[in-house]
């Protein structure tokens, strides 16, 4: 993998989105969000997405300028219509608003409809945890279906990711999971590379479990299995229904409206522990649990128990010193846009 300085990648990506027509702080926010995902090791949801976003700007499917429309605002509960503005920017803006208001309300929630895609959920969490706040972030795409409900074989849902940031006295716990076994992005990458999953993560069009990612791209298509798979997928199905209710139900726009175009419905909640048992007490409890998990004797074949986000934060600290490793094909996909928009590509290190 080719390595670049993180700040060089951020500067490059900022210039691309500015040249593509995004106004205000949108280019810098998008750039930092995408590079943060690669810093944390989420290579399918970082700069991998930039070329697709730039194509969406070219086609007019992503709105480059302006602000979201306020649908409702009760102080601690806000709803926006995202107007298909860049989802990375909308999500960051919504979290910052929730962080600003949470001291007054204790809990602040924001629902966003008609956003564009929001990239990697984990990359947003430290906007809250670095301030001692807990955050829950989730999204769905009501225009896409790739996951069948448990017991079915026709897609109705998306992978429906959910991320949770939990402050501790040391590193925060950064949970980033989905209601499905795998994601659309990873399935597409493995298909393109001619690889297979290590276990059955999908159903083919006939409803048979398979490890072949190509099953999602047949006609008719197969589906991604919910967490729990064939035997226990009711668990992932239940999580997906919760995510779709939070993101589409609360924002008042979703699958029932039959939207088209790559996008997202979003729900986020920022929680101030000071409004409950107190921040010190909160972090005393979360730190104790984190330490107890880390000190648990590992099972055979496991080196040590790791907390969610631990590897990503270690990866980030190393990458900030040694450089960010970009997955093959990412920079190659951006070079044509750089040439077209007159943006200099960053130097390798």
**What percent of the chain lies above the pLDDT cut of 90?**
99
Rounded distance, CA 98 to CA 96, Å?
5
The pLDDT tens digits of the residues spanning 74-96 come to: 999 999 999 999 999 999 999 99
- Specify the pLDDT at position 186: 94
Q: What does the DSSP 8-state code read for residue 247?
A: I
The pLDDT tens digits of the residues spanning 121-171 come to: 999 999 999 999 999 999 999 999 999 999 999 999 999 999 999 999 999
Cis peptide before 111 (omega within 30 of 0): no
SS3 string, 152-200, reads: CCCCCECCCEEEEEECCCCCCEEEEEECECCCHHHHHHHHHCCCCCCCC
pTM for this one? 0.96
- Kindly state the average pLDDT of the residues 48-52: 97
Q: Comparing C-alpha atoms, which of 347, 243, 318, 308 is closest to residue 4?
A: 347
User: What per-residue string of b and e applies to 41-59 under the rule 16 or more CB within 10 Å gives b?
Assistant: bbbbbbbbbbbebbebbee
Rounded distance, CA 136 to CA 138, Å?
7
- Specify the pLDDT at position 312: 97
Cα dihedral across residues 15, 19, 22, 25: positive or negative: positive
Torsion-angle region of 136 (φ positive above 0: left; ψ -120 to 50: alpha; else: beta) = beta
pLDDT of 100 > 80? The answer is yes
Torsions phi, psi for 246 (to 5 deg): -65, -45
Q: Which two tokens stand for residue 98?
A: 């929730």
Look at the block and give the residue holding tokens 């007159």. 342
- Output the average pLDDT for the chain: 97
Rounded distance, CA 46 to CA 59, Å?
21
Question: Please, are residues 139 and 120 in contact by the beta-carbon 8 Å criterion?
Answer: no
Q: What does the DSSP 8-state code read for residue 249?
A: I
Q: Tell me the helices (H) and strands (E) count for the chain, helix number first.
A: 11, 12
pLDDT of 1 > 90? The answer is no
- Specify the pLDDT at position 92: 98
- Specify the pLDDT at position 325: 94
- Kindly state the average pLDDT of the residues 269-276: 98
pLDDT of 2 > 90? The answer is no
Question: Please, are residues 13 and 20 in contact by the beta-carbon 8 Å criterion?
Answer: no
Q: What does the DSSP 8-state code read for residue 348?
A: P
């Amino acid at each position: 993998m080719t390595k670049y300085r993180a700040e060089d990648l951020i500067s490059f990506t900022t210039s691309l989105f500015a040249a593509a027509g995004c106004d205000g702080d949108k280019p810098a926010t998008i750039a930092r969000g995408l590079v943060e995902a690669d810093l944390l090791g989420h290579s399918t949801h970082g700069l991998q997405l930039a070329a697709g976003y730039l194509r969406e700007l070219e086609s007019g499917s992503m709105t480059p300028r302006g602000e979201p429309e306020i649908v409702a605002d009760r102080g601690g509960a806000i709803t926006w219509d995202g107007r298909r503005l860049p989802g990375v920017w909308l999500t960051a803006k919504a979290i910052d608003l929730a962080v600003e208001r949470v001291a007054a309300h204790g809990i602040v929630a924001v629902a966003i409809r008609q956003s564009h895609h929001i990239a990697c959920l984990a990359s947003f969490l430290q906007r809250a945890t670095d301030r001692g706040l807990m955050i829950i972030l989730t999204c769905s795409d009501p225009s896409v279906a790739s996951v069948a409900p448990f017991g079915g074989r026709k897609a109705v849902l998306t992978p429906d990711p959910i991320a949770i940031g939990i402050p501790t006295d040391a590193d925060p716990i950064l949970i980033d999971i989905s209601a499905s076994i795998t994601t659309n992005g990873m399935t597409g990458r493995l298909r393109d590379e001619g690889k297979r999953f290590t276990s059955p993560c999908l159903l083919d069009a006939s409803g048979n479990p398979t490890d072949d990612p190509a099953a999602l791209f047949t006609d008719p298509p197969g589906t991604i299995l919910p967490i729990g798979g064939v035997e226990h997928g009711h668990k992932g199905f239940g999580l997906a229904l919760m995510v779709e209710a939070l993101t589409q139900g609360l924002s008042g726009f979703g699958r029932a409206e039959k939207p088209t175009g790559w996008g997202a419905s979003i729900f986020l909640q920022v929680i101030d522990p000071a409004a409950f048992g107190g921040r010190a007490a909160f972090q005393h409890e979360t730190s104790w649990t984190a330490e107890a998990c880390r000190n648990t004797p590992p099972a055979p074949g496991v080196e040590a128990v790791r907390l969610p986000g631990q590897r990503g934060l270690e990866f980030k600290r190393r990458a900030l010193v040694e450089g960010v490793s970009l997955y093959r094909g990412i920079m190659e996909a951006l070079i044509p846009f750089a040439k077209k928009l007159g943006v200099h590509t960053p130097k390798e290190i």
